[in-house]
Amino acid sequence: MNPLIKPRALFVALGLLLALALWLSLALGPVSLPLADTLRAALRLLGLPLAGEGLAQTELILGQIRLPRTLLGLLVGAVLALCGVAMQGLFRNPLADPGLIGVSSGAALGAAIAIVGGAALGGLPPAFAPYLLSACAFAGGLVVTSLVYRLGRRDGETHVATMLLAGIALTALAGAAIGLFTYLADDATLRTLTFWNLGSLNGASYPRLWPLLLVTAAVALWLPRRAKALNALLLGESEARHLGFAVERIKAELVFCTALGVGAAVAAAGMIGFIGLVVPHLVRLLVGPDHRVLLPASALAGASLLLLADLAARLVLAPAELPIGIVTALIGAPFFLYLLLRGRT
């Protein structure tokens, strides 16, 4: 398959797209700020010594509301897309999605435990209470994924097909447990749970960004080092082994990276679907399956797409906002169908 675009052209285009998405995400919102003010406030936030009178409100909205939210969107979009590439490479299937190894359902189960159990406990120390949900979601993702990985291992080898089936089984099991918690929840907790499952970048703040920043940086630095191995895996596991790659180790690393990355993203922003599935696929259509290009390009595209989806989420119903999971699903589901139907003709 010949790529439609040369890698260099793609990187230029995606870089421009991301810059545009970043700027729109900072410049647009329910509060309409004059462009000149936005520019001046942005430059002041960068540390330029400009006159700041009359900019207090603009700086606050830009610095405390839009900037953390934009950074959150950037990180979540990038890490979800990277993990999507890792999963599609591992399963050698373009329709694979980070949810397959149970990280999403595990995180959802952790969140359900935190929301319903936290409401029942009630008396948590106030310093810890806001982080309970994130911590439980992250831990839930890791635990279920490590279980799936264990179940897929036999005689020192990881069987990808077994792991896939184990992922499906554990997802169903987690679904049942979530259902049980849903049944036990009262009305208010139920709505919190529902909204969490739809994802949102709302209420982003700097302290909550740090863990995600660390994880995303680690994943974004680590996965590209495994690009050649991922390329070799496309040929098949034994071929990759004969080419001299430590296949078992690579598989473990890919699963670990995905559990970490998706877990952190879900912990910070709730469940946001389809980015990890659609973005790698889209990029592969444009530029071909070489992971050395696919990984960084997907990160750029994922970040741009999520920022644009978030822009829609906060503008469409302003002053209220739409959960972002609805927007990404609205874009992602038709695209998925298109991929399925395209193969038929």
Partner 1 sequence: MKRLKTLFALGTGLLCCGWAVADDALPQRWISSGGALSEWVVLLGGEERLVGVDSTSQHPPSLRELPSVGYQRQLAAEGMLALRPDLLLGSEEMGPPPVLEQLVRAGVQVEVLSSRADLASLQASVLRIGELLGRPQQARAALADYRQRLQQQAQWVAQAQAQQEQEAPGVLLLLGHAGGNPLAGGRDTAADWLIEQAGGRNLAQHTSYKALSSEALLALDPQVLIIADRSLSGEQAREALLRHNPALAATRAVREGRLILLDPTLLVGGLGPRLPDGLAALSAAFYPASHSTLAQARPTP
Interaction between residue 77 and partner 1 (CB under 8 A): no
Count of residues engaged in binding partner 1, rule: CB under 8 A: 32
Interaction between residue 222 and partner 1 (CB under 8 A): no
Interaction between residue 169 and partner 1 (CB under 8 A): no
Nearest to partner 1 of 49, 122 (CB atom): 122
Name the region of 34 (left: φ>0; alpha: ψ -120 to 50; beta: rest): beta
- Compute the least distance from the CB of residue 322 to partner 1, in Å: 9
Q: Which two tokens stand for residue 251?
A: 């598989």
Stretch that binds partner 1, among 88-96, 198-206, 227-235, 251-259 (CB under 8 A): 198-206
Candidates 16, 64, 239, 246; binder of partner 1 (CB under 8 A) is 64
Instruction: Return the residues of window 277-336 that contact partner 1 according to CB under 8 A.
Output: 314, 317-321, 323
Candidates 178, 204, 213, 230; binder of partner 1 (CB under 8 A) is 204
- Compute the least distance from the CB of residue 319 to partner 1, in Å: 3
Q: Which two tokens stand for residue 92?
A: 């050698």
Interaction between residue 147 and partner 1 (CB under 8 A): no
Candidates 4, 12, 31, 124; binder of partner 1 (CB under 8 A) is 31
User: What CA–CA distance (Å, rounded) separates 242 from 106?
Assistant: 35
Interaction between residue 188 and partner 1 (CB under 8 A): yes
User: What CA–CA distance (Å, rounded) separates 258 from 260?
Assistant: 5
User: What CA–CA distance (Å, rounded) separates 28 from 11?
Assistant: 25
Candidates 6, 150, 191, 242; binder of partner 1 (CB under 8 A) is 191
Nearest to partner 1 of 48, 320 (CB atom): 320
Interaction between residue 93 and partner 1 (CB under 8 A): no
Stretch that binds partner 1, among 26-34, 275-283, 327-335, 336-344 (CB under 8 A): 26-34
- Compute the least distance from the CB of residue 102 to partner 1, in Å: 27
Candidates 41, 44, 106, 208; binder of partner 1 (CB under 8 A) is 208
Nearest to partner 1 of 62, 223 (CB atom): 62
Strands 157-158, 153-154: parallel, antiparallel or unpaired by DSSP? antiparallel
Candidates 183, 221, 238, 343; binder of partner 1 (CB under 8 A) is 183
Cβ atoms of 112 and 132 within 8 Å: the answer is no
Q: Using CB under 8 A, list all residues that contact partner 1.
A: 29-32, 57, 60-61, 64-66, 130, 183, 185-188, 191-192, 195, 200, 202-205, 208, 314, 317-321, 323
